[in-house]
Structure 1
């Protein structure tokens, strides 16, 4: 894992902070982002008997849009009597068109709301949850991740990490074709999730990136104004 971030031309080492899974605060999010992607908080509690918990992150140019799904097996005693096989789905879209832009200084707990993203929560019926899990398996979750793949902040990729049946699962799919079973361009699970997440915000695609007359010049400008990072993938996680 290359724990370095560039912003405004300044290179700084990011503290080796462990994620708790909460990325609402933009400062904490930056300091724990690599740990969050590696699912360190999920791995710490994963073992026999642990509830299924999947984290799916769509990096659609980090400085433009991030989409995070947390899919957790629903506890029937804590989810209003949800049937067996149901799942709680929490969606966060950062950089979406409907994100808040107003500050709430009168409410300290909401000061960072404009940067927390658009958040929706829903319960997936057993059939819907099963369809998502089946699509993930079909797309390659459970197979070894493509070790050596580089995940760059300005690119497009999906990352999945979680605890399934008491064991850690990890996978990445990088555009255009990095990943198992055909890679990024043939994934089937994203459409299933987007249709059920309730945000109304479409998935951003590489085709949405603006085209510039001189890409090299624009890339240098973006590198000086954006947060940028690059991560190396191992077979079951982000390499340290």
Structure 2
């Protein structure tokens, strides 16, 4: 396929994807890619916030999108005071795990669900509050997909919230919620190690590295969530078109 034709096809596909909205966590890799930006932005949580009185929290850890991503969706159980956590870990595709019966199995990741007691749930929400998760997000922050960061959004007491924790930063290193999350994580999959602060990517790779393959995009944080959808898809389009 010629570069011009490939660019045209990618443009059409990504414009179509821009209209896809997330309906929550999924282990289907195709659905996940179609709705990823909507999922990151918590569009489904925002649209339903305050309608049923349920608190919902979503935490995403990006440790280079092409290598390791973790997602946690926590839903309060109303009057009982506890919550249910659904967690997924998506790592670099392991071709050895592809089976003829399920050719997409290698991209599904590891998933697990667990129930949090009222004390566990209350303690975790308190930890998020202490770490500033419900404060105004860092407006203008740019997050490359090859970088390391946490995104958190959700609905708490009928109010939608969104924030980010980029690495390296004091906000990231001083946050206590990752350790608290690790104690209740049902996946059993260890967190990846962090690069040295000076080695952590702060921008997208150069054009030569983009040619090596993979998916690259950049997110921009605004006062009310992610800026876009055109900004994230524009960056993704540029990266893919450079292949």
TM-score (structure 1 length as normaliser) = 0.79
State the distance in 1 between where 2:226 and 2:76 align.
25
Q: Which residue of 1 aligns with 2:171?
A: 183
The number of aligned residues is 210
Q: Which residue of 1 aligns with 2:186?
A: 198
RMSD: 2.6
What are structure 1's unaligned runs of at least 5 residues? 1-8, 77-83, 212-217
Q: Which residue of 1 aligns with 2:129?
A: 137
- Asked whether the 8 Å contact 1:100–1:117 carries over to 2, the reply is no
State the distance in 2 between where 1:74 and 1:68 align.
19
Q: Sort the Cα spacing of 1:29 and 1:170 in 2 relative to 1 into closer, same or farther, 3 A.
A: same
Higher relative contact order, chain-length normalized (CA < 8 Å, sep 6+): 1
Please show how residues 66-145 of structure 1 align to structure 2 within 5 Å.
66-74=69-77, 84-95=80-91, 101-103=97-99, 105=101, 111-145=103-137
Q: Which residue of 2 aligns with 1:166?
A: 158
TM-score (structure 2 length as normaliser) = 0.78
Q: Which residue of 2 aligns with 1:25?
A: 28
- Asked whether the 8 Å contact 2:94–2:106 carries over to 1, the reply is no
State the distance in 1 between where 2:47 and 2:222 align.
18
Name the SS of the counterpart of 1:228 in structure 2.
Answer: coil
Q: Determine which structure has the larger helix proportion and give its number.
A: 2
- Asked whether the 8 Å contact 1:24–1:112 carries over to 2, the reply is no
Q: Sort the Cα spacing of 1:66 and 1:10 in 2 relative to 1 into closer, same or farther, 3 A.
A: farther
- Asked whether the 8 Å contact 1:97–1:201 carries over to 2, the reply is no
Which digits, 9 at most, give the CA deviation of each residue in 1:125-164, with x for residues without a partner? 1111111111111111111000100011000000001011
State the distance in 2 between where 1:208 and 1:104 align.
40
Q: Which residue of 1 aligns with 2:145?
A: 153
What are structure 2's unaligned runs of at least 5 residues? 1-5, 200-204, 229-243
